[in-house]
Structure 1
C-alpha cells in the first residue's frame, strides 16, 4: 500500500480529520503506507502508535511533562477558549498526575514572519504556472490580494526565513529537553461568522486570520507533530479545541495524551446544527 505525502512545499502537510482519536490513528496508519518506496529519505524509526485499550488500567501518563506558555493562553479573543483548555488540563493532571511546566517561546514575531514568507513564497511558486496562463482572474479577490503581497517577497527574504526557521527549531528542541509536549488553545477564537459578501468575492480580514492561525504556526513551520482535540463549547455552542504539540516523531505521545483528554471531554460532544453523515449512503 502506497503512503501519502505532500510535495508542493515545505509547510504543506497532510493529516487526518476524524471524530475520535482512535479513528485518527487508523487513518494516520493508512497514510504511512506499507510500501518501501513510500519511505522518505530521513528514514525515521518505525511508527509507534499507542495501544489505547491498554492505557485504562495503567498510569501511562504519570510521568508526562506538559509545557505551557501562559502568554499564549492570555492572548485570545475570548477567555472562553483558554478557560476550557485550562479546565481540560486541570482534569488531565488530576486524573493522571501529569506535571505542568511553564516554558518560554522566544521570537514569536520572527516565527510568524518566517511562516508568512515561507508559505507565501511557496504558494506563489506553485500557482505561478496558472497565473501566467491567465487563470488568475478565476481567483477570488482576497486570494489576488494575497498573491500581490507574496510577489513582494524576494529570494533573500525566503533564505532569511529559512535561517529563522532553523533557529526557532533549535529553541523548540531545547524546550523539549524539559517537557514532553507543549499545549496551546487550537485557535485564539471560535469560528467567526462569514459575511454574505464573502461567499461571492472572498474576504480579507487579517485580525481574524491572526486569531485563527496564531497557535498553529509553530507546528506548521517546524514540521512538528500536533493534534487538536475538542474540549468544550463557547456560550454560542461553537467548539473549542486544545492543541498538543510533540517533538519530532512523537506521534504516539500526542495521540496518547489526546485520548486521555478525549475521555472526560468527549461525553459532552454535540451534533452541529448543520450535520451531514458522510458515511451514510444517499
Structure 2
C-alpha cells in the first residue's frame, strides 16, 4: 500500500515513529498527482512549496514538536487564498490573480505543519453540482462505469476526486448548499460541513456569505475529526466566526451511541426516490439501531420550500458578492474599444470573465433584490429560511440527537448528462443538503454502500449546532457498521 493512499491517522503515527519522512510522503503524493492528470483534480501544482513545507515538518517531527497535521500532504480548493499561488475560484475573471495574503484556514493548517500539494479544481465560484462550470475544464470521478466518465460532484469536485483517487491524504472543501457532502457521497469519501461560524471564512472567495462554510474532505471519519480540529477556531477577522473553544473532536469518537435518538424526517422520502437510496437509508437506520440508538420518525414540514428558498437567497448574496469583479483592481480586464467608458469596461469584462452558470445566478440574484421584487422573493425566502431553522430546533428540542437522511438523490451521473436546457435538474442534486446550510447546522456524508452499478452511495447525518464531536461519533459508528472499504479501480 503506497503512502499516498494512507489515512491522516496512519500517516501521523508513521511520521511520529519515524517510519516515513514527511518529504517521502509528500513525494509519493506528488508522483501520484503527476500520474493522475486525467482526473483534472489539481489545477495549480506547487511541488516546491510542498517540499519546503515537508522539510520544515520533518524538522518539527525530529524535535518532537508535531501536531496531528504535521507533515500531512493536502490539496487546497481553488477558493482559498494562498499567498503567491493562483487563487482563481475556477473563474476566468480571476485569471492571473495571486493573493498577497493567506486565508485563515490555510494559515492554521500551515501553522500545524500541513503540506500544500497544490490547488484543486471546482465549479466556478462554487456554483454547480458537477464540477462542469470550471474554467479549467471538468474534474473527473475516479469511479468509472462502462467506460463513462462520471462527475465527482460539485462544487468541491477536484477535492473529492483527489482524495478518492489517493492523490493526497485529504483536502479542503467549502459547502454552500451541499458542496462538500454531495461530492463526498459521489466519490465514496467522508465530508463534513461544520456549524456556520465554526471555521473562519476569511480569505475564502465568497459565494453566499450567510451559507458558505469550509470543511474537510477525508478518507475516514477519524481523519475528518483530526482535520476539522486544525481548521476550526475563532477568527477576529471574520465577524461571523464563533468565539467558542474547539473541543478535541478525535477524543469524541467513542463509538458509543447507546440511548441516542436518531430522527428520520418523513419529508425526505421524495417522490421517485430510487429504491436503492431508500434501502440504503433503511439499512443505515438499522445499523444505528443495532448500535443502541433509538430510531424515531420526525417531521421537518418546511423541507419542500428549502430548494426554492436556497435558489433565491444564494444568488441574491452572490450577485452582491460578485459585484467586486469589475476589471478595475485585479483579475481579468477586457480590451476596450476607442470611446468605451467605465460602464462598457464592466460589461465586457464580466461578459468575458464569468461563465454561463455564474451569469445566470448573478442575474437571478439581481432580479430578486430589485425594488419591485425584493419583498415578493428575497424577503419571503428569508422568512421561509427562519421556518426551516425552526423545524430543526423543534426536533432537537424534542430530544433528537442527530438526523439521518440520504446525502444525494442518486449515485454519480455521467459528465454532460445533466447539462440539459433545464438547470433545475442539476439544482435538484442539492435537495437533501441545502436545508443544513439554511439552518446553519453541521452535516456529514459517510460512504455506506455501492449501487447496482458498483458506484458509492452516502448517507448524511445532521447534528445539533456546535456539537460536531457528537455528530462525528454518530458518523464513526455508521462508518464502522457499514464497513465501506471499496476503492475505485485505477484507470487514470
TM-score (norm 2): 0.49
Find the residue that maps to 1:61 and give its secondary structure. Answer: coil
- The alpha-carbon deviation at position 231 of structure 1 amounts to 0.6
Aligned to 2:358: 143
Structure 1 consecutive aligned stretches of length 4 or more whose deviation exceeds 3 Å:
1-4, 33-42, 73-77, 202-205, 273-276
Say if 1:164 and 1:34 are closer, same or farther in 2 by CA, change over 3 A: closer
User: Which has the higher relative contact order, 1 or 2, with Cα contacts under 8 A spaced 6 or more apart?
Assistant: 1
- The alpha-carbon deviation at position 118 of structure 1 amounts to 1.3
Find the residue that maps to 1:248 and give its secondary structure. Answer: coil
- Cα deviation digits, residues 244-267 of structure 1 (max 9, x gap): 00111110111000000111223x
- Cα deviation digits, residues 222-278 of structure 1 (max 9, x gap): 110110000101111111111000111110111000000111223x422224578xx
> How many residue pairs end up in the alignment?
266
Tell me how far apart the structure 1 counterparts of residues 458 and 272 of structure 2 sit (CA, whole Å): 13
Find the residue that maps to 1:224 and give its secondary structure. Answer: coil
From 464, 468, 472, the counterpart of 1:251 = 468
Aligned to 1:220: 437
- Does residue 396 of structure 2 align to residue 176 of structure 1? yes
From 159, 163, 166, the counterpart of 2:386 = 166
- Does residue 31 of structure 2 align to residue 31 of structure 1? no
Of stretches 113-122 and 34-43 in structure 1, the one that deviates more from structure 2 is 34-43
Whether contact under 8 Å (2:234, 2:244) holds in the other structure is: no
Q: Which runs of 5+ in 1 are unaligned?
A: 277-282
From 295, 301, 311, the counterpart of 1:106 = 301
Of stretches 4-13 and 212-221 in structure 1, the one that deviates more from structure 2 is 4-13
Aligned to 1:279: none
- The alpha-carbon deviation at position 25 of structure 1 amounts to 0.8
Whether contact under 8 Å (2:316, 2:365) holds in the other structure is: yes
Say if 1:41 and 1:233 are closer, same or farther in 2 by CA, change over 3 A: closer
Tell me how far apart the structure 2 counterparts of residues 170 and 19 of structure 1 sit (CA, whole Å): 33
- The alpha-carbon deviation at position 90 of structure 1 amounts to 0.5
Say if 1:86 and 1:180 are closer, same or farther in 2 by CA, change over 3 A: same
* Structure number with higher helix proportion: 1
Please show how residues 226-237 of structure 1 align to structure 2 within 5 Å: 226-237=443-454
Q: Give the aligned CA root-mean-square deviation in angstroms.
A: 2.8
- Does residue 402 of structure 2 align to residue 206 of structure 1? no
- The alpha-carbon deviation at position 76 of structure 1 amounts to 5.3
Q: Which runs of 5+ in 2 are unaligned?
A: 1-106, 110-198, 327-345
Say if 1:75 and 1:64 are closer, same or farther in 2 by CA, change over 3 A: farther
Tell me how far apart the structure 2 counterparts of residues 88 and 165 of structure 1 sit (CA, whole Å): 28
Tell me how far apart the structure 1 counterparts of residues 260 and 350 of structure 2 sit (CA, whole Å): 51
Tell me how far apart the structure 2 counterparts of residues 49 and 263 of structure 1 sit (CA, whole Å): 17
- The alpha-carbon deviation at position 78 of structure 1 amounts to 1.3
- Structure with max Cα Rg: 2
- Does residue 337 of structure 2 align to residue 119 of structure 1? no
